[in-house]
Amino acid sequence: MADSYGAPGGGGSSRGLSLATTAALFLAWWGVTAAGWVEPLFLPGPGAVLDRFLEVVEEGFGGATMVEHIWASLSRVGLAFLLAVATAVPVGVLMGMSRVARGILDPPLEFYRPIPPLAYLPLMVIWFGIGELTKIVVIYLAIFAPMALNARAGVRSVPIEQIHAAYSMGASRLQVVWHVILRGAMPEILTGMRIGLGFGWTTLVAAELIAAQAGLGAMIQQASDFLVSDVVIMGIVVIGTIAYLSDLAMRYLERVLTPWKGKV
């Protein structure tokens, strides 16, 4: 099997290096804590974090079990992601196809895109209160911009010759959009979805600062208030693991929907 640059066996060697890097980082973490070079208050060992994880699974932390924390965060990120897919992709496609839409939508999109979520979080609280809506809106805004911009870039990357060829063969405008433009833009759209999902998990902790009763970000915040370092690290590991598994799912979706990517 060749990787995207044609080197045989690239996928296997990449996975091997990833496993080796993960093992090296874990051993370094264990070695530093076992040697006592860092106080447990600042960096608890892997065993302590695992014990705390099992304890939170059974007894909970901050008024909710681990399952409840994970479900609360998954539901917020998942709903914001689905809303972004339903709105950002059409907006990006429209911007890629229409100069008028690009001229109208590009300035506000580029204006708010680099603003950190914590900067407009207070405004969201003023507008929408401290309920679930504010949390979902903050995560949604973080996901929307990269998804829309990647969809726009994907549409702009479709060769004009393919569009003209489809029209010359009698295709309607809807058929050209569906079979030529969207198909050609699909790799960029899926890449935008992967990037947006990553931004969603990045924004989760900020969103759950707003009076959240459950959620991984809320759990981390509560633990940091009381200097419970093992819970903080446990929450970080759980968020990172879920985000990584989500990314793997998106990579699988890419392979299914765009099997030609990297081969032509």
- pLDDT at position 144 is 95
The domains of the chain, with CATH numbers, are 1-38 (no CATH), 42-257 (1.10.3720.10)
pLDDT confidence bin for 5, thresholds 50/70/90: very low
* pLDDT confidence of residue 4: 46
Q: How far apart are CA 27 and CA 206, in angstroms?
A: 31
pLDDT tens figures, 24-39: 988 998 888 888 888 8
What average pLDDT is seen over the chain?
Answer: 87
More confident residue, 15 or 152: 152
Give the model's confidence band at 262: pLDDT under 50 very low, under 70 low, under 90 confident, else very high: low
One-letter amino acid for residue 234 of the chain: M
Write down the pLDDT at residue 153: 92
Phi/psi at 113 (nearest 5 deg)? -55, -45
Residue 190 CA, chain-centre distance (Å), reads 12
Closest listed residue to residue 198, CA positions, set 111, 92, 89, 81: 81
pLDDT in tens, 161-173: 888 888 888 888 8
pLDDT of 141 strictly over 90: yes
Span 186-237, pLDDT tens digits: 999 999 999 999 999 989 888 888 878 888 988 998 898 888 899 999 999 9
Q: With CA atoms as reference, report the closest residue to 186 among 220, 136, 151, 138.
A: 151
pLDDT at res. 137: 93
